[in-house]
């Protein structure tokens, strides 16, 4: 895993800095540093929990796919994703 690529993915907004965090990760973070989470994950509805877990899985899948690409393809795909996110 390339730290340079991970940095690029987060700084370009393709993935959030905390990508891949599922419900159990949010619970663990809340136990350690509750002010970083905002609300107690134990109070989240099942729909919220399902959405968090779904998003974590999608983020991990995207990261794994992008990180497996050769450099030229990685940056080409990132550019497409950035344009898509910006509505272009």
Q: How far lies 77's CA from each of 20, 63, 66, in Å?
A: 20, 12, 8
Distance CA 7, CA 55 (A): 19
The tens-digit pLDDT sequence of the chain (88 residues) is 588 999 999 999 899 999 999 999 999 999 999 999 989 999 999 999 999 999 999 999 999 999 999 999 999 999 999 888 777 6
- Residue of 72, 54, 74 whose CA lies nearest to 1: 74
pLDDT at res. 1: 56
pLDDT at res. 60: 96
Return the ∠ at Cα 48 (arms to 44 and 54), rounded to 5°. Answer: 135
Which letter, b or e, does each residue of 78-87 get, where b requires 16 or more Cβ atoms within 10 Å of its Cβ? beebeeeeee
Radius of gyration from C-alpha coordinates of the chain: 15
């Amino acid at each position: 895993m390339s730290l340079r690529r991970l940095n690029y993915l987060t700084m370009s907004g393709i993935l959030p800095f905390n990508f891949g965090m599922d419900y159990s990760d949010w619970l663990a973070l809340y136990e350690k540093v509750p002010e970083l989470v905002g609300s107690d994950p134990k109070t989240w509805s099942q729909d919220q929990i399902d959405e968090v877990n779904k998003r974590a899985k999608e983020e991990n899948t995207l990261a794994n796919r992008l990180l497996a690409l050769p450099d030229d393809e990685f940056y080409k795909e990132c550019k497409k994703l950035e344009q898509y996110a910006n509505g272009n």
